[in-house]
Structure 1
Amino acid sequence: MGQRAVSELFGQLVRFGMVGGFTTGLYALVYSPLAKYEVTSPQVANICGYLVAMATGYFLHSRWSFRGHGTRDNPVRTTSRFFLVSLVSYALNAFWVFVLTDSRMFDGEWWWPLLPIVLVTPLVIFALNRRWVFG
């Protein structure tokens, strides 16, 4: 991998991290009060957070995080792939919520899933977005 390619990858990773941090923060702002104050179940709170983060993420990632990477000659394909990857993100986050908060599993506090949601899910999603959605 040449110096230019490494620099481009690093720039994408930094931008993705900034947008991902922002959208993850939005997710947490939606999820946390709904789950903490038992407005709804943790899984429904997860769906609400996911929808807000997905819509914001598509706009910011397609226009900033991966700008100049790949082609955008087929916006239907790019949008549908982004949606599929976002479903992977949702499934991972639902998995974390289930395993860490469900009474049949770890029965943890409402905030436990936020740790892997912030630390693990974004790395998986970056790889999928870079290679498959915007590549």
Structure 2
Amino acid sequence: MREVFWQLVRFGITGGLATLLYAIVYWPIATYAQKTWPLANSATWPVAANLLGYLAAMLSGYVMHSKWSFRGHGRRDNLARTGGRFFLVSLVSLGMNTFFVWLLTGPMHGPTWWPLVPIVFFTPLITFGLNRLWVFA
């Protein structure tokens, strides 16, 4: 149980850094890109920003989680297996985050920061479980 606790702590720190990187990429693009390029549809900028934030967070997240969050847990002998599974879990994360962005900035007409609430508090719990039980098992 102690091992899981410390993995969760490391995952929280690493995930927090990856999420911070996501937010640093997402929010300025979602908020200001439509002012820079007014000919583009303003409703698409948050979704495009979400994808760019996802790519930055996924790439950095894989390195940090495999080297630190889940160190000493499971096997690392097959990069294709672990990397492929991590990519699939990150797609689940992308899907959830894209849904939050679409719902909260689209139909609910909320500000661009609203999706950050479930992205920061809900998505990491789901991805921790998937990473621990499947990716880095």
| TM class, shorter-length | over 0.9
**1:1-46 Cα distance to aligned partner (Å, 9 max, x none):** xxxxx11000100000000000000000000100111346100000
Unaligned runs of 5+ in 2: 35-43
- Matched with 2:18 is 23
Query: CA–CA distance in 2 between the matches of 1:73 and 1:24?
Result: 27
Unaligned runs of 5+ in 1: 1-5
**1:86-126 Cα distance to aligned partner (Å, 9 max, x none):** 00010000000011001xx1111000000000000000000
With the length of structure 2 as denominator, give the TM-score of the two structures. 0.91
Structure 1 segments of 4+ aligned residues over 3 angstroms from their partners: none
- Matched with 1:11 is 6
- How many residue pairs match? The answer is 128
Tell me how large the CA RMSD over aligned residues is: 0.9
How many percent identity over aligned positions?
A: 59
Deviation at 1:73, TM superposition (A): 1.9
Aligned to 2:59, what secondary structure does the other structure show? helix
The equivalent position to 1:35 in structure 2, one of 30, 35, 38, is: 30
Q: AA paired with 1:56? A: S
Query: CA–CA distance in 2 between the matches of 1:38 and 1:117?
Result: 21
With the length of structure 1 as denominator, give the TM-score of the two structures. 0.93
Q: AA paired with 1:23? A: A
Which region of structure 1 is more displaced relative to structure 2, 57-66 or 69-78? Answer: 69-78
Q: AA paired with 2:5? A: F
